[in-house]
Amino acid sequence: MRGEELKKSALLSRALVRTTLSRYQTNCHVDPKSWKFRKNDHGKPEVDCQYADDWSLPPLHFNISHTSSLIACGVTVGSPIGIDVEEKQRRLKNDILAFARRYFSPHELEMLTQIVDPELQRQEFIKLWTLKEAYVKALGRGFSASPFNTFTVGLRDHMKGGIHVPPHGISKEAEITVEPFGELNNLSSNWHFVLLELLGSHYAAVCVEKESTNTGKGSIPVNLTIRKTIPFVGDECVSGTDPVVVIGGLSKLLVC
């Protein structure tokens, strides 16, 4: 890699993945250096448990996302996960609506077109982009197999009003849904979404596959534990604190 900042980010990312995965072990301790990884057929990194002597290790899934100022790592037990993080002040070189016409679904484009305020429109665009990227990463098939314009993301209770809603109590959050359309048959709608604001400066989207045993039983909140971490230096639980605001999605923030 060229550039010290890129090298530093790469090292931090790898340390964050390894230390976070080790945090999840309950039956035995796995040294962060001991983790081995593989890639699926589409290039998504996965934990390789074939080396493990203890087959009681939980089936961990992880995903990672970068910005210039924040690295996010999401880990689940037994369910595929996708995570994306974007800076709220991100600026686009192209016109937002022109960009949306190329990459978003007709419904999402219509929703953005109805927002008159340019700043609100930009914020709504970033939220949608973050959610859509988390979904594609959770599918784990690559962007070419899951084009952004082949599915629609929105709030179940506000499909005509967009997802720009004020933060409010978790129990009142509207469910974020995904609706595939078109001829692709490799997309599905069986996913939980949570949209967060972090530190007042970033949006983070988490996408987790719903349990098959929950089919037909209605939606249940996603349990989330959120930590602010510098590997081997500092670690702080921030679930339920001011730096973490749930914007959308059914979730329950767990105290560490």
Rounded Cα–Cα distance for residues 184 and 186 (Å):
6
Could you tell me if residue 132 is left (phi over 0), alpha (psi between -120 and 50 degrees) or otherwise beta? alpha
d(CA 105, CA 208): 21
The SS3 call for residue 1 is coil
Residue-wise pLDDT tens for the chain (256 aa)? Answer: 678 988 988 999 999 999 999 887 655 577 888 889 999 888 889 998 765 555 566 688 999 999 988 999 999 988 999 999 999 998 888 799 999 999 999 999 999 999 999 999 999 999 999 999 999 999 998 777 788 988 999 875 544 444 544 433 233 457 888 988 766 666 788 899 999 999 999 999 999 998 754 555 556 788 999 999 999 899 999 998 999 999 988 888 887 7
Could you tell me the CA-to-CA distances from 141 to 15, 64, 95, 137, 157 in Å, in that order? 25, 15, 29, 7, 29
pLDDT at 166: 42
For the chain, list the domains and their CATH numbers.
1-253 (3.90.470.20)
- Residue written as tokens 């967060």? 196
